[in-house]
């Protein structure tokens, strides 16, 4: 059995995970994730009781009881690089013995739902709607760094997408991965299901032109017109591909659901979306 070196899994002197600063006993099996640390405070306000409230950098974690269910609310910050940190440490908290630094004999499966905000790419995804990421297209390249990633990717979809948009060889090779099917059915049975792109930035990588010109000004138009069978690209955000991909590689149940706060086709946005995200958080807490 491999003993994981200190350099590979850093454990703080108090027995907590390096970045998250939470201990194994403070993690629930059901996890609701979000980018904004303040949203964790909002989520925890719905809990009946609170066990712990821990903040480290952008990572804010509260574990408590919601309607009889033990739930952890956690902020992951922005981007798939942060998801690599968060999911790896969550998996370690669940499945590594922090005393022996060895993998536990019994696997503990986590259920993780990211609740986020997103920009819609189709007319049927108006501002204020909820979109479940049934599939995600990763522009980030993250899961290519892990063994067996090709076993979970959907190659035909990837090839068709790259051909349609004339994908630049200077970009990371995009990957396509599906979220956990049972979890998608449970959380999003009455929501829009779609294909979400996880971009590696908010501005240029999502086709936003502020001052610097874009390398491919037509990329979003090509993305909007892409079809693979019955699938179309429904929305842009920055984390769903890593959550679905790493979750699947690790054996956990993982998915993303977003409220649409902008429609990139109609050039509409809504910065006052607090009520919508509150409603979505409550729905996820009820169904997780």
Q: Which residues pair with 185 in a beta bridge?
A: none
Residue 197 token pair: 């792109």
- 168 lies in a domain? yes
- 6 lies in a domain? no
Q: pLDDT tens digit string along 36-50?
A: 999 999 999 999 999
Give me the pLDDT at residue 1, please: 85
Give me the pLDDT at residue 276, please: 85
CATH number at 77 reads 3.40.50.1580
Give me the pLDDT at residue 257, please: 98
- CA torsion through residues 243, 84, 108, 113, sign: negative
> How many C-beta neighbours within 10 Å does residue 245 have?
30
- 4 lies in a domain? no
Residue 102 token pair: 């060895």
- 12 lies in a domain? no
- 234 lies in a domain? yes
Q: Are 72 and 60 in contact (CB under 8 A)?
A: no
How many structural domains are present in the chain? 1
Residues lower than pLDDT 50 in the chain: none
Element (H, E) at 80: helix 80-95
Q: Where in the sequence is the domain holding 220, given as residue range(s)?
A: 24-287
Give me the pLDDT at residue 264, please: 55
- 183 lies in a domain? yes
Element (H, E) at 232: strand 231-237
- 5 lies in a domain? no
- 130 lies in a domain? yes
Which DSSP letter does residue 115 get?
A: E
């Amino acid at each position: 059995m491999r003993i994981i070196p200190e350099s590979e899994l850093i454990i703080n002197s108090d027995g907590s995970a390096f970045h998250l600063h939470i201990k194994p006993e403070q993690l629930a099996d059901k996890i609701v994730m979000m980018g904004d640390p303040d949203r964790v405070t909002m989520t925890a306000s719905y809990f009946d009781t609170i066990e712990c409230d821990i903040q480290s950098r952008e990572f804010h974690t509260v574990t408590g009881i919601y309607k009889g269910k033990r739930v952890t609310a956690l902020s992951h910050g922005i981007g798939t690089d942060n998801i690599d940190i968060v999911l790896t440490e969550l998996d370690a908290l669940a499945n590594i013995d922090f005393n022996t630094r060895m993998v536990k004999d019994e696997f503990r499966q986590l259920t993780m739902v990211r609740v986020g905000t997103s920009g819609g790419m189709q007319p049927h995804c108006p501002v204020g709607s909820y979109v479940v990421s049934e599939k995600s297209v990763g522009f980030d390249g993250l899961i290519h760094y892990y063994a067996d990633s090709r076993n979970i990717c959907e190659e035909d979809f990837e090839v068709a997408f790259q051909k349609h948009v004339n994908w630049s060889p200077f970009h990371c090779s995009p990957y396509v991965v599906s979220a956990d099917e049972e979890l998608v059915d449970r959380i999003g049975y009455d929501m829009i299901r779609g294909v979400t792109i996880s971009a590696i930035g908010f501005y240029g990588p999502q086709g936003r032109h502020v001052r610097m010109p874009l390398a491919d000004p037509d990329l979003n138009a090509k993305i909007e017109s892409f079809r693979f069978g019955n699938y179309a690209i429904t929305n842009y955000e920055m984390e769903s591909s890593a959550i679905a991909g790493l979750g699947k590689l690790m054996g956990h149940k993982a998915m993303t659901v977003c409220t649409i706060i902008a429609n990139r086709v109609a050039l509409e946005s809504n910065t006052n979306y607090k009520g919508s995200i509150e409603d979505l958080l409550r729905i996820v807490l009820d169904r997780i």
